[in-house]
Amino acid sequence: MDKTEGYWIKDISLAASGKLYCEEALKQMPGLRVVREKYMGTQPLKGIKILGAGVITYECANFAMLLKDLGADLRWVTDSLHYTIDAAAAYLVSNGISVYGYRHMTEEDYDEAYHLAQFRDGNGKVIAPRYIISDGAELPMFLHKNYPEILPEIKVIFEQTTCGVNKYFSEFINQSGLYFRVVDINGCVTKSKFDNIYGSRESMLEGIQRSLNIQIAGTEAVVFGFGEVGKGAAQALRGMGAHVSIVEIDPIMAMQAHMEGYRIEDKKTALRNSDIVVTATGCINTIDQQDFLDVKDNAVLMNMSEHNQEVNAAWVSNQKSIEAVRLNESCVRYTYNGKQFYILCDGYVLNLYAGYGHPPTVMGTTYTTHILSLLYVEEHPEEFEKVGIYQIPRKVDEDVARYSFPEITKKLTTLTPEQAKYLSVQIEGPFKREEYKY
Ligand SMILES: NC(=O)c1ccc[n+]([C@@H]2O[C@H](COP(=O)([O-])OP(=O)(O)OC[C@H]3O[C@@H](n4cnc5c(N)ncnc54)[C@H](O)[C@@H]3O)[C@@H](O)[C@H]2O)c1
């Protein structure tokens, strides 16, 4: 482990390989390249303290490098025990960014890393960054618990994911009052309607095959939750030839899945019949204690949501009556009453634990959404004065799409003034009202 003043990562000698992979990823992230070209000269983030907490992948490293190149005073901490790509972390450190996190951290190290990652003054006192980049609300929750005095000075938290946004709503609004100004990056169309769906559609399959090499074609599969991630998971499984059922709590989502040709199943029937079980609900204990007794012989269970709280692998592994055999780092086979089943990644997020996460193109779109949102906030601070959860205007999403897919968007048709007037939009956009559902 390389732990020194300014960083704590696995191995700094991985920096050269990290650089190669980051360069390859950047080729597929045009949005970040366009933003760099456009803003590098003016240094819009010069001297601004930003503390990032997110999964340190090659794509994330390219985003962090962009923040630094635009002038930010940046520190970064992992948001997960298990998902850091150590070569990406080493690459950032070799470029002078303070990074804290390595793959498969202990809980104690993780907690210590969060303390070490903080900005401090000359006396060692923790000081507030202007902005926080968050993926899952881990860092804001940590600050809320450990350094609440700095919270009012944090201008804005940019929250990347569904479960993070849900946490602000439940923890802060329902229980203790909302202390933060949060920008809901997940609420941007160019994030949740792309990363969550199309990223999951690709990276879930990589996660399965790296954990346990199974044929998907011809199997019975069930996806719990037909939200954005669930839609991507269901499409991937169906695309591979599985017969896919959906378990939902929400009648509108069930109706959508039905219209897409998926079978809606009750939980028990779905578990009894399915060879592949995927959770994508963002809920807790989606597959819990008794449910494991219902699963089909040789079923493979996996989670595509945040953390390890959906497939209760911890409960299974604590049962003396259930025999466990670890096949590899990301697959355990359990035997109970003559029946076997497999849990991938101990219930942690499949595509990040067993694989490299979403491909660069879709993550490029997510991080372009981040950076353009951040620049928007920086240019319009008066719009983000009060505590609360904010959405970024649709025009920013449209710019993200233009920057991220220039080859497609250059072929767009332009409205005539007459057509624009008829639709009540500007010729140059935005083309949809804020409430449009996409
Ligand atoms: N693996 C990844 O790379 C990745 C990427 C993006 C988001 N996520 C995470 O995936 C999770 C889902 O995100 P999303 O954007 O799809 O959320 P979403 O809110 O769009 O979808 C969740 C769906 O699950 C349903 N649901 C909730 N509880 C349920 C239960 N107990 N049983 C059955 N259905 C239930 C909801 O009705 C909803 O339709 C979140 O935790 C999010 O943070 C993971």
Write the DSSP assignment of 332-374 as a string of letters.
EEEEETTEEEEEEGGGSBHHHHTS--S-HHHHHHHHHHHHHHH
Q: Is the pLDDT of residue 90 over 90?
A: yes
SS3 content of the chain, % helix, strand, coil (to 5): 45, 20, 35
Ligand 1 pocket test, candidate residues 162, 192, 437, most atoms within 8 A of CB = 162
- Domain 2-187+358-399 fold is Rossmann fold (3.40.50)
Determine whether the shortest distance from the Cβ of 308 to ligand 1 is under 6 A.
Answer: no
Candidates 327, 283, 278; CA nearest to 304 is 278
Q: Is the pLDDT of residue 69 over 80?
A: yes
What are the residue boundaries of the structural domains of the chain, listed by start? 2-187+358-399, 196-348
Q: Mean pLDDT throughout 339-360?
A: 97
Q: Is the pLDDT of residue 169 over 90?
A: no
Residue 175: what pLDDT? 63
Distance (Å) from CA 414 to ligand 1 centroid: 36
Residue whose CA lies nearest to ligand 1 atom number 44: 305
Determine whether the shortest distance from the Cβ of 200 to ligand 1 is under 6 A.
Answer: yes
| pLDDT tens-place string over residues 417-438 | 999 999 999 999 999 999 999 9
Distance (Å) from CA 432 to ligand 1 centroid: 25
Q: Which atom of ligand 1 is nearest to the CA of 161?
A: 43
C-alpha–C-alpha distance, residues 276 and 286, integer Å: 15
Distance (Å) from CA 216 to ligand 1 centroid: 22
Q: Is the pLDDT of residue 83 over 70?
A: yes
Q: Which atom of ligand 1 is nearest to the CA of 357?
A: 3
Determine whether the shortest distance from the Cβ of 288 to ligand 1 is under 6 A.
Answer: no
Distance (Å) from CA 162 to ligand 1 centroid: 7
pLDDT grade for 167, boundaries at 50, 70 and 90: confident
Listed in sequence order, the residues at least 6 apart from 61 whose beta carbon sits closer than 8 Å to its beta carbon are 18, 22, 88, 89, 91, 92
Decide if 2-187+358-399 and 196-348 have a common fold. yes
Determine whether the shortest distance from the Cβ of 265 to ligand 1 is under 6 A.
Answer: no
Determine whether the shortest distance from the Cβ of 247 to ligand 1 is under 6 A.
Answer: yes
Residue whose CA lies nearest to ligand 1 atom number 37: 250
Determine whether the shortest distance from the Cβ of 286 to ligand 1 is under 6 A.
Answer: yes
Ligand 1 pocket test, candidate residues 281, 311, 356, most atoms within 8 A of CB = 281
C-alpha–C-alpha distance, residues 282 and 53, integer Å: 19
Q: Is the pLDDT of residue 138 over 80?
A: yes
Candidates 45, 52, 25, 341; CA nearest to 212 is 341
Q: Which atom of ligand 1 is nearest to the CA of 164?
A: 43
pLDDT grade for 205, boundaries at 50, 70 and 90: very high
Q: Mean pLDDT throughout 350-377?
A: 98
Listed in sequence order, the residues at least 6 apart from 177 whose beta carbon sits closer than 8 Å to its beta carbon are none
Ligand 1 pocket test, candidate residues 163, 184, 196, most atoms within 8 A of CB = 196
CA atoms 44, 117, 81, 170: torsion sign: negative
Candidates 193, 191, 165; CA nearest to 396 is 191
Q: Is the pLDDT of residue 178 over 80?
A: no
Determine whether the shortest distance from the Cβ of 365 to ligand 1 is under 6 A.
Answer: no
Distance (Å) from CA 326 to ligand 1 centroid: 28
Write the DSSP assignment of 13-63 as a string of letters.
GGHHHHHHHHHHHHHT-HHHHHHHHHHTTT-TTTT-EEEEES---HHHHHH
Residue whose CA lies nearest to ligand 1 atom number 38: 227
Q: Which atom of ligand 1 is nearest to the CA of 283?
A: 28
Ligand 1 pocket test, candidate residues 229, 266, 306, most atoms within 8 A of CB = 229
Is it true that domain 196-348 has CATH number 3.40.50.720? yes
